[in-house]
Amino acid sequence: MGRSIIPRLFILLFIFFITGNIKAQESNTELDSLRKDAVRLFIDCRYCDMNYVRREIPYVNYVRDVREAQVYVLVTRQSTGSGGSEYTFSFLGQEEFEGMNDTLIYASRPDDTRENTREGRTQMLRMGLMRYVAKTPIFEEVQISHKGRSVPEEVTDKWNYWVFELETRPRFELEESRKEIDLDNSVSAVKITPEWKIEMDFDHNFTRTTYNFEDTIYIEDKSSKSLRNLIVKSIGEHWSVGARFDISSSTFRNTKLNYDFFPSIEYNIFPYSESTRRQLRFLYGLGYSYNEYYDTTIFDKITDKLLKHQLQIAYQVQEKWGSINISLEGSNYFNDFKKNRLELEGFINIRIVKGLSFNIRGNVARIRDQLSLVKGEVSEADILLELQELATGYSIDGGIGFTYTFGSIYNNIVNPRFGSGRGFRRFF
């Protein structure tokens, strides 16, 4: 009797397994059917944790190419006056969602953890997607809930929008024949409102390098201090006026004391309210510069009192085809127009065709304004330890890159095993 029960139990378990498997397959088939009709989404965000986003928002199809998307989302960021960040979410509908565009903003606080910020960004993305998800069959899989009634309160800011920051960063590096101690300290005070921008920053750096060579101990020090002040007044959607006042010293630049005072005016062709998406700014400054040097310069000077002006042009744009960031700056001293500098810097990233993108970055400078260079020969130690500025007529750096991806257009799956690196070179 007991022996006949065991085969029956196996038969019942087998039937239960087959039945459950069939139901699971039917359920998966139903979900797969719904998934095919889900919104195809492309997120253009440099700061987002995409693995987290895919887990928290599983009811859309994430695609790898903007041309395959029904909804394109561009996420841009700028700093707030309190020390936090403001994230702008620009939603752009494509194909059947053409014309369904929206812009949402999420602001993080300076004391928010990365988890707080990540969760807040994802929640704003979730809310912005609802209008598109509601037009697909998968809306049945989404529920909207409310935490409770919020009562607005009048907020009184006892700091009057001022934010202060203290920071110290000691660092050391020890080897048998070489030791280096580096101290970085900074203090800042910032006040940012729609009408005013006030920034004050003090930075101090000290580096001591000790090295042994042929039984001789050499000690070399390098230090710098700077106090930078900026005040800007907004004038409408396109104009700003302000002034920069800086005081600094640097053993590397042979500057015992330097102070600059530069009143400036800026015009932005695009409204400042669109600054996270596009900017074309022209800034002109005219000011006074005083320099007192540690050692006599190559121009036989121990002090300099100079008038200087400069022009900056900056162009920035972020769109679904890519992004462009280019700046051009030129300056010269009035006492000698041959003492000038012209610098071009840029980063361009363009999606050329489906799956293919191209980027180029670079910086080119023509340098003719090194007034503080020390007269005489530079020692080998100063060169090797970068203790003193060297004469140069130009500087160039840059690079290019191509990226081509192909295969499945979908990018929904998250698998964190063996770390986030591709291949076998990175495991953690």
Q: Rounded CA gap, 273 and 278, in Å? A: 10
* Token code pair at residue 170: 């000691």
What share of the chain in percent tops pLDDT 90?
A: 39
Name the nearest CA neighbour of 371 among 396, 330, 340, 334.
340
Q: Please, are residues 340 and 333 in contact by the beta-carbon 8 Å criterion? A: yes
Q: Please, are residues 408 and 354 in contact by the beta-carbon 8 Å criterion? A: no
Distance between alpha carbon 225 and the CA centroid of its chain, in Å?
26
Q: Please, are residues 363 and 395 in contact by the beta-carbon 8 Å criterion? A: yes
pLDDT at 19: 58
Q: How confident is the model over 87-121, as pLDDT tens digits?
A: 889 999 998 899 899 899 888 887 777 788 888 88
Radius of gyration of the chain (CA): 30
pLDDT at 424: 47
| Amino acid making up residue 103 | T
pLDDT at 426: 46
pLDDT band of 206, cuts 50, 70, 90:
very high
Handedness of CA 152, 158, 161, 162 (dihedral sign): negative
| Mean pLDDT calculated for residue range 241-267 | 95
Q: How confident is the model over 215-231, as pLDDT tens digits?
A: 788 888 999 999 999 99
Higher pLDDT, 274 or 395: 395
pLDDT band of 425, cuts 50, 70, 90:
very low
Strand pairing partners for 171?
182
Q: Rounded CA gap, 92 and 321, in Å? A: 13
Q: Rounded CA gap, 341 and 112, in Å? A: 41
pLDDT at 344: 96
Q: Rounded CA gap, 237 and 2, in Å? A: 89
* Token code pair at residue 250: 């640097």
Q: Rounded CA gap, 293 and 205, in Å? A: 18
**Which domains are seen in the chain, by residue range?**
36-139 (3.40.50), 162-404 (2.40.160)
pLDDT at 321: 82
pLDDT at 147: 67
